Structure 1
Amino acid sequence: MKKTIVITGTHLTPALAIIEELKKSSSPKWEIYYLGRRYTMEGKKNQSPESLLLPQKKIKFINIPAGRLQRRFTVWTIPSLLKIPLGFIASLYHLNKIKPDVICSFGGYVSVPVMAAGKILSIPSLTHEQTTVVGLANRINGYFADLVAITFPQSKKFFPASKTIVTGNPLRPEIFQKDNNLYQFSQKKPQIYITGGSQGAQIINKAVWSILPQLTKKYNLIHQCGANDYPKLIKKYQKLPKKIKDSYFLVDYIRPKSIGWALDSDLIIGRSGANTVLEIAALGKPAILIPLPKTSQNEQFFNALYLTNHGGGVIIEQKNLSEKKLLKTIDHIFANFEKYQAKAKRLKKEIKLDASSRIVNKLQKLAQ
């Protein structure tokens, strides 16, 4: 038996986990399409991770020219608004052509026209919410969806109770695979993984580079700097003294097959998107979280609180971030490492590890 599914949304990490779970199924066999965005931001030609990674996994990726409501007025605000009907028309066209048995959404502006078109075409659908604070896109999707899967019970209040279920957050199986090393450090030191996500975080990169000599004296660093800063930083890296290079690995983006190696570090420093926080929690790792300000309803700050309220990490708000503050916080965590590690491991026991199979089971029932 064969079934067809369309996956959509801007949150790629849980989508990848669901794709891997779907591929395991022998009955039904799934034909998978992904309707998403080709570029990450208006006015820039940085390709989205989904447009790059999914074709490598032999998933049919289709660009949807969706628009969105921007939080502040820019030169791209009006062109983005004009794309909203275009995204809906494109979604109708592709869904009518593909004729999927079910749609699975992971939120974000690109998912809204797909979910709306699916409702008009009477295609059953499920949308998943990763965070405790629900954004506008998934609030709208909750109206169109037949089922709403949520990570945290406190998100129930945003959706109709009759169609809302708590599943947890799908976790990529790659985060538990630690043997695909990209680099071998020459000295045994505590290891830190620093990430600003696929696009990077310029302010984090700047702080790290300001204290690089001090950090590399005591720690080995894996630094995922993102696509935007990489061309500039790799030139600076090539001029570094050998003693710093030996303890510092710079990379633009870590592919899924090696992410488990990076996450197996002693300490993780990064933003606090829902998937990042939940993966850190599932691995039982201490973390320093620097929430991205001005996210929808300050969701990254509340995501970070989930980890730090359990004692497994520290929040540094971006307005308070400095190289001195970052270095002091890193040294503090390693000076009290056993305490932070023990609390992180206690939180690990609360994470649902079977979210992917739960969601796929619901998708199979919707597709019948």
Structure 2
Amino acid sequence: MGRKIVFTGGGSAGHVSVNLALIPLFLAEGWDVSYIGSKGGIEQQLTESIDGVRYYSISTGKLRRYFDWNNFKDPFRVVKGAFEAFRLIKTIKPDVVFSKGGFVSVPVILGSRMNKVPIVTHESDLSPGLANRLSLPFAKKVCTTFPETADQLPIGRAVYAGAVIRTELHKGIAANGRAFCGFTPRKPVILIMGGSLGSKKINESVRLSLDALLPRYQIVHLCGKGQMDGSIRRNGYVQFEYVTDELPDLLAATHFVVSRAGSNSIFEFLSLRKPMLLIPLSKEASRGDQIENAQSFEKQGFCKVLFEEELTADSLCDSIEKLDEMKGAYISRMEKSRLNNALDQLFSIIKEEAKG
């Protein structure tokens, strides 16, 4: 009988992208691959159409850092999800469970522990997220993207692996990206993305900046689900809720990126040598992990940072102009970076724990 693996992780694209990079490797080696996530979550949208992957949904609760009446209900959902995951894993009988984090992973890890299945987790950000901190006592190995993260974890369980880069992102064709948007090769392209759920403030600032930006640039705006504005029709400006298959081509055509500061995304931009303007989630909306990520990249000279509290149409235009002026220096520093793709190492670690 072939070996089996269960993947989990979700709530945002960042908690799925590493899994999407790993799944083809396991399928190619003949593993039986299952994915446990939330019902209707982004992880379901991104994974259930992959040939050879079975998707299972369970109950889950969101781990909030603010008051919400659902905070009183969600612990019960997590417990319910843990027992659902326990039954699923008892039926699937995987050799190993791999968790990318996010609130959906907690009940899966609890269910895996109850079945005594080895667990490997992955932490993308500089400081461990809440879901991964809750999962830490049950994980055999915690793989990290930043070397500093290992210092915050128990000795013997933390493994610095580096950034996982989706190989398909390096296969994009710029001409195809421009054709997809109806762009000309004579003007530089800015790709703007506010995370998988979008950002109302970034979207508003971009739309207020179009008069100033469009004479010099062409703009691809990934707005997030339900956040497109169909009333805006301008030459050189296109909107999408999100893209999947077209992303490598769009990135190949892109000269500058304006983005949130999720770890997976910014390391991918680094690997593609794309000058970045990072607008990290504020501490009011997050635990501050994106601020740490952005400041780490800024310190290394890979990006310019614009804090959300300072974001306006004017500050956005000024920051893009400064990024353009310094693009050569940013690209030069990125080319000198010693970026290792952790995909093969992560693949090996998971298989080694499965043997155990």
| Aligned residue runs from structure 1 range 254-273, under 5 A | 254-255=243-244, 257-264=245-252, 265-273=254-262
What is the TM-score with the length of structure 2 in the denominator?
0.92
Give the conservation status (yes or no) of the 8 Å contact 1:69–1:81.
Answer: no
1:191 matched to 2:181? The reply is: no
Structure 1 residue aligned with 2:354? 367
Aligned partner of residue 288 in structure 2, secondary structure: helix
| Aligned residue runs from structure 1 range 29-178, under 5 A | 29-38=30-39, 47-58=40-51, 59-178=53-172
Which amino acid is the alignment partner of residue 205 of structure 2? Answer: A
Give the conservation status (yes or no) of the 8 Å contact 1:290–1:315.
Answer: yes
How big is the shift at 1:62? 1.2
Give the conservation status (yes or no) of the 8 Å contact 2:85–2:107.
Answer: yes
Q: Distance in 2 between the 1:166 and 1:60 partners?
A: 30
CA shift digits 1:158-197 (9 cap, x unpaired): 3221122111122212211213533231351111100012
Which amino acid is the alignment partner of residue 118 of structure 2? Answer: P
Q: Distance in 1 between the 2:119 and 2:44 partners?
A: 22
Aligned partner of residue 246 in structure 2, secondary structure: helix
Structure 2 residue aligned with 1:215? 213
Structure 1 residue aligned with 2:200? 202
| Aligned residue runs from structure 1 range 234-253, under 5 A | 235-237=230-232, 240=233, 244-245=234-235, 247-253=236-242
Give the conservation status (yes or no) of the 8 Å contact 2:78–2:106.
Answer: no
Q: Distance in 1 between the 2:7 and 2:208 partners?
A: 41
Q: Distance in 1 between the 2:150 and 2:300 partners?
A: 22
Which of 21, 24, 29 aligns to 2:25? It is: 21
CA shift digits 1:303-330 (9 cap, x unpaired): 1112211112111110000000000111
Which amino acid is the alignment partner of residue 65 of structure 1? Answer: S
> Please, which moves more after superposition, 268-277 or 136-145?
136-145
> Please, which moves more after superposition, 194-203 or 151-160?
151-160
Change in CA separation of 1:296 and 1:67 when aligned onto 2, cut-off 3 Å: same
Q: Distance in 1 between the 2:85 and 2:339 partners?
A: 35
Give the conservation status (yes or no) of the 8 Å contact 2:199–2:224.
Answer: yes
Which amino acid is the alignment partner of residue 2 of structure 2? Answer: K
CA shift digits 1:248-286 (9 cap, x unpaired): 12111111x222222231110010011111111121211
Which amino acid is the alignment partner of residue 345 of structure 2? Answer: R
CA shift digits 1:96-146 (9 cap, x unpaired): 111111100111221112112212211112111111111221122221011
Aligned partner of residue 56 in structure 1, secondary structure: coil
Aligned partner of residue 236 in structure 1, secondary structure: coil
Change in CA separation of 1:69 and 1:197 when aligned onto 2, cut-off 3 Å: closer
Q: Distance in 2 between the 1:205 and 1:297 partners?
A: 22
The runs of at least 4 consecutive aligned structure 1 residues that moved more than 4 Å come to none
Which residues of structure 2 form unaligned runs of 5+?
Answer: none
CA shift digits 1:229-254 (9 cap, x unpaired): 12xx1x213xx3xxx32x11211111
> Please, which moves more after superposition, 60-69 or 311-320?
60-69
Structure 1 residue aligned with 2:6? 6
Q: Distance in 2 between the 1:340 and 1:110 partners?
A: 37
Give the conservation status (yes or no) of the 8 Å contact 1:223–1:251.
Answer: yes
Structure 2 residue aligned with 1:313? 303
Give the conservation status (yes or no) of the 8 Å contact 2:147–2:162.
Answer: no
Aligned partner of residue 35 in structure 1, secondary structure: strand
CA shift digits 1:189-224 (9 cap, x unpaired): 111100012211111110010011221110011110
Q: Distance in 2 between the 1:176 and 1:24 partners?
A: 20
How big is the shift at 1:33? 0.8
Structure 1 residue aligned with 2:345? 358
Give the conservation status (yes or no) of the 8 Å contact 1:312–1:340.
Answer: yes
The number of aligned residues is: 344
Percent identity reads: 28
Give the conservation status (yes or no) of the 8 Å contact 1:12–1:50.
Answer: yes
Give the conservation status (yes or no) of the 8 Å contact 1:130–1:275.
Answer: yes
Give the alignment's Cα RMSD to 1 decimal.
Answer: 1.6
How big is the shift at 1:366? 2.0
What is the TM-score with the length of structure 1 in the denominator?
0.89
Q: Distance in 1 between the 2:132 and 2:46 partners?
A: 24
Which amino acid is the alignment partner of residue 22 of structure 1? Answer: F
